[in-house]
Each structure stands twice: as C-alpha cells, then as structure tokens.
Chains A and B, each alone.
Chain A
Amino acid sequence: MQYSTFNLIKEGFVGHKNWPAAWTTPALKKSYDAVIIGGGGHGLATAYYLAKNHNLTNVAILEKGWIGGGNTGRNTTIVRSNYFYPESAAFYDFSLKLYEGLSNDLNYNIMLSQRGQMTFAHSQHDLEMIRRICNAMQLNGVDASVLTPDEIALRIPNLDVSRKARHPIWGAVVQERAGVARHDAVAWGYARQASKLGVDIIQNCAVTGFQIDRGRIKAVETKRGIIKTDKVGIAVAGHSSVIAEMAGFRLPVQSYALQAFVSEPLKPALDTVVVSPATGVYVSQSDKGELVFGSALDLYTSYAQRGNVPVLEDTVAGLLALFPSFSRVRMLRQWAGICDIVHDSSPIIGHTPVVGMYINCGWGTGGFKAIPAGGYTFAHAIAHDTPHPLAKPFTLDRFKSGALIDEAGAAGIAH
C-alpha cells in the first residue's frame, strides 16, 4: 500500500489494521539470477536498482543478521559531495542528487535535511587549503563557498570562535546541499521497494562458502542451504576480506572500527553539520535533539563492533574544544562499525578475479552518503558485466595499474 495522506486518513477510520509488512519474509529458493551478499544500505540499494533499472527481479539479498544492522545503522548519517578530484565529485554528487529525490522515489520519508556542512580552517594554512578545496568543488560543479569567522559565529552561536580558542576558527568551506538523512529509513525504504519489485530479502542467513568451477561462480553456500546462481554481488563493508577469502582472492582492504556517539537530547543548539579537521571531530544535532558525533578511526585493525577508550577520550576532548558549552551534556550511547579502509579512500565497485562475482567495498568511513550511487552503479556492473561510467575509475584494477584516486585529503578527516 502506498504511503500517502489519503491512505493514512482512510486507515484512520478502520484502526490502521490493513497496513502490510514493509517487506515480505519469503522462503529461500534453490536458485536465483543474482545473489547479493549483505543487507545493508548498499546491498539493498543494489537489489532495488537491479529490479528497477535492469528488470532483474529474481534476486536474493542474504543478510547475516538483520537488514540495516551493520554500518548503515551505526553511522553519523552525513550526506555530502565535497570531494576534491573530478571522478569522486561526479560520483558523490550523483549520489547526493539521488538522495534529493529519494523520499519520492521510494515513497518513504528518509528525512533528508540539507542543513549544510562546514569544514573549518583552524590556521592560515588550513584557510588556504579550504579555499583550494572550494575552488576544486566549484570547478567540479558542486556548490561550495567560504565563510568568514563572523559569518560562522552568526550561524553557530555556541561555537568558540575567540582568538584564544585552542583551535581558533579562521574560516570554513560550506556545502549548503550537504546534510543528514535518517539512516534506518534509507535501509527500510530500499528494502520495502526492492521487496515490492520481487526481490527476496533473506535475514539471518550467513554465507559460509562458494562453489567456483574453473574460475566461475556456480553457487553460494549458506547456513540455510546451497543457492545456485551465476552472479554474486558482495556488499559487506568491513567483512569484505572475509568473504573474499572464502572465494579465494585478496583485497587491498584493512578493517578498522569507527566509533560514533550520541548524547542525551537537547533543545535546538546546532542546525548545521560541523567538521573540524584539526580535532578530527564531526558533529550534528538529530531531529530528536541528540548530538551525533564521531572522529577518527580506532588505532588498529579490528572486527570488534565496540570501539576503544582512547579514541572516545580524544573525540570528547575535540568536541569540547569547539563547543565548551557542551561540557555538561551526558552521553547516551556509543557504538562502532567495522570500516573497509583502502589506501586511497576511494571505493571499489565492479569485477573480482572470479567470473560472475562483483564487489562493492572500500567505502571506509563514508559509505552512508554513497548508498544511492553505490547501489545504482553496482547494479549496472552486475547486470551488464561492465562498470557504470561513473564507477569506471573505481575498479579493483587500479591497485595494479597505480591509477589511485587519493581522496584522503579531501574527505575531511584524515582516517
């Protein structure tokens, strides 16, 4: 049933008893045209675009836990396209444009709030660098402007902009179209539409191995039986290396935990997204009033979804250096997601050494903003066995050819 004011009123008269489940829970079939491993944002979006754009509906999504329960449900929900290189800007701006129309496309309110994102300069040198990034963004056709300390102080009254601040504010580059979206809604919205188009969402179904014959994928082994298929798409973020090992190849990926933190709800105090490269902190305020913030990766590789204390201390110290008035705020929750870190902070979308097997990984700490474009271009790669034009620079081959797209500097925080 369509989510609409009309249906809401209609259902109001009959006690809201007819709303169907947002997605169905089908039985696992013996074979599929394509199997997507990973029911996070990227996996769900991939299945949706396979069905919608490529008419491939005999598709299963296999999820080890529950959909949207990994990094999709464990991030700071920032969407932006303030990248430096033309390849990245084109890709991430396409993603942001899809986000801008996503609530209508999915008939599901993803609560996109384009409240702008500021990246601070804390010194004369920072200021020169953000001017350079601003110029690059404008040349790439992405909206950007530089704000003076006075303009920043007007927009963020509780920010410490004094000259005596530990990290003084010299300016900021702002992307007004950036903002936040409701992370769970993105997963659920994609799941609902994918399910409606015929995709089977199979939860609690861990992959245990693959059947590969002469370098070609034949079947996926799971805890619930063997599934025959000619095409497999892997979208498992931090666990990419684990799945790749099952299929017998290696990836240029290292898995690190990235923590995020939520405070108790406050009255409206911050109506933009703030990134401070010097402290490593990024923070926004959710619609419920909680401060949602995070900073750098944990210090060593990890598959433990909990995070460690030194980074927590650094993050809180950084936040308070920027906003001294938050010092009495109590923390509500902390969690960590496992991020697939690659050397150039750019994604890997497309072929693997196994024929019929494709991978979507390498998003590192910024996969959420890329969900629509990641799914869109990955679906293209799976359906046509060739990279989408926007994803051509982001294949696995670049680690052999050397054509890296080193976005580490422009991603805001040096992870």
Chain B
Amino acid sequence: MMKITCPFCGARNENEFHRGGEAHIARPQPSMDTSDDVWGEYLFFRDNPKGIIVERWRHTYGCGQWFNVTRDTVTHEIKAVYDIEAPKPAIDAQ
C-alpha cells in the first residue's frame, strides 16, 4: 500500500486518493485558432516516463483537495508533494 502525504490531512493510504494524470498541461489558446494537431496533442498525448513523473492527485475520500506529486513509476516512491499552482519543479533524473 502506497502512502501519500496530503498537504492538508497528512499521510494516508493510496486508495483514499484519485490520480488526475499529468500535471502542468496548458490549454492551447486561443482554442478557435488551434490546429487539429495541436488540439489532439493537448487532449490525448501524455508523458509516460519509466522513471520520474509529475502528476496531479486528489484526496477524493478525504479533504477533496487537488495537489501535485512527483513520483517514480518504477519504485512508486513519492519524491515531492507540492501546491497545484506551483511551477513545475526541475526533475532530477537520478
């Protein structure tokens, strides 16, 4: 069982949370002038690294808060938990 540290509630079991996918994706603007290629990329194409991923999580069965996490997709180790509006951290490939 993975423990995730909610910024508000503290460390809780993984099944209280919901993963919200890759973080820091910006909607292309203005959307009316966006090509199909760029729009398709925005909707469907995602980073899927074997290693460190930057992703959104929500403490769905707790306080309901959204936050960001950097996590290792091989070891499941959580490297950092940070605010949803904070800028994307530099990722140490180690």
Q: Which residues of A contact B (CB under 8 A)?
A: 239, 241-242, 245, 250-255, 299-304, 308-310, 342-343, 399-402
Contacts and interface: CB of A to CB of B under 8 A. Distances in A.
A400 B1 contact: no
Contacts of A304: 73-76
B73 A255 contact: yes
Interface stretch (B24-32, B44-52, B83-91): B44-52
Given A242-B50, A254-B48, A304-B74, A400 B40 contact: yes
Given A304-B74, A304-B75, A400-B40, A299 B14 contact: yes
A245 B75 CA distance: 20
Please report whether the interface of chain A is mostly helix, strand, loop or mixed according to DSSP.
mixed
B40 A301 contact: no
B92 to A, nearest CB: 18
Contacts of B37: 400
Contact of B76 (A242, A250, A253, A302): A302
Contact of A309 (B1, B21, B73): B1
A253 B48 contact: yes
Given A303-B73, A399-B45, A402-B36, 4 more contacts: A241-B47, A245-B49, A254-B48, A399-B43
Nearest to B57: A300
B1 A250 contact: no
Interface string B4-27: 000000000111011101000000
B63 interface: no
B2 interface: yes
Given A399-B40, A400-B40, A255 B48 contact: yes
Contact of A399 (B17, B44, B49, B53): B44
A413 B15 CA distance: 19
B46 A310 contact: no
A245 B51 CA distance: 13
Contact of A302 (B15, B36, B73): B73
The 4 closest A-B pairs by CB, nearest first: A241-B48, A400-B40, A252-B44, A310-B15
Contacts of B18: 299
A400 B14 CA distance: 34
A400 B36 contact: yes
27 contacts: A241-B49, A242-B48, A242-B50, A250-B46, A251-B45, A251-B48, A253-B46, A254-B46, A299-B14, A299-B18, A300-B55, A301-B19, A301-B48, A301-B73, A302-B74, A303-B50, A304-B73, A304-B74, A304-B75, A308-B76, A310-B1, A343-B44, A400-B36, A400-B37, A401-B40, A402-B36, A402-B40
> Most chain-B Cβ atoms within 10 A of its Cβ — which of A300, A310, A399, A402?
A300
Nearest to B19: A300
> Most chain-B Cβ atoms within 10 A of its Cβ — which of A245, A308, A342, A400?
A400
A381 to B, nearest CB: 21
A174 B41 CA distance: 38
B14 A310 contact: yes
> Most chain-B Cβ atoms within 10 A of its Cβ — which of A239, A253, A302?
A302
A308 B44 contact: no
A303 B17 CA distance: 19
A256 to B, nearest CB: 10
A251 B14 CA distance: 27
A65 B69 CA distance: 32
Contacts of A242: 48-50
A239 B47 CA distance: 12
A300 B14 CA distance: 9
A263 B53 CA distance: 35
